[in-house]
Amino acid sequence: MSKDDLLAELAQVAHLMVPGSLSEMTRQCGDSSCACARDPSRRHGPHLYLRFSASGKANSVYVPPEDRDAVIQGHEAWLRFNELASQMAESNRQRLLHELSGHKKAAKAQRAKSRARA
């Protein structure tokens, strides 16, 4: 994938991305007459939660069923954004290493040329 392709897709997913992680949990409702109070396999859920850090604090937000698909799509966009950014960073590193190698070879050649004159 070219750098322009990476940038185009990064821009696309940036509009949708929602950072954090998703988890599903089952819950006991607190009603002592409910089956969930006696049988853990009959707990309510699973319910989706978005977990993230903001201002140095861990947060967990319940995602209502009607927002589930949008939050999942946003989370998938976040994962894709990170994947694309990593690819771009690796490409940048390879380019930098190539440039540094060229500088090293040029400096070595210059030293050899200086020694040959002396």
- By DSSP bridging, strand 57-63 and strand 44-54 are antiparallel
* Predicted pLDDT of residue 107: 87
At 20, the pLDDT band (50, 70, 90 cuts) reads very high
Percent of the chain with pLDDT over 70: 99
Phi-psi region of 14 (alpha: psi -120 to 50; beta: other; left: phi over 0): alpha
Instruction: Report d(CA 25, CA 37) in Å as an integer.
Output: 16
Q: What pTM, to 2 d.p., does this model score? A: 0.72
What is the tens place of the pLDDT at every residue in 68-109?
999 999 999 999 999 999 999 998 999 999 999 988 888 888
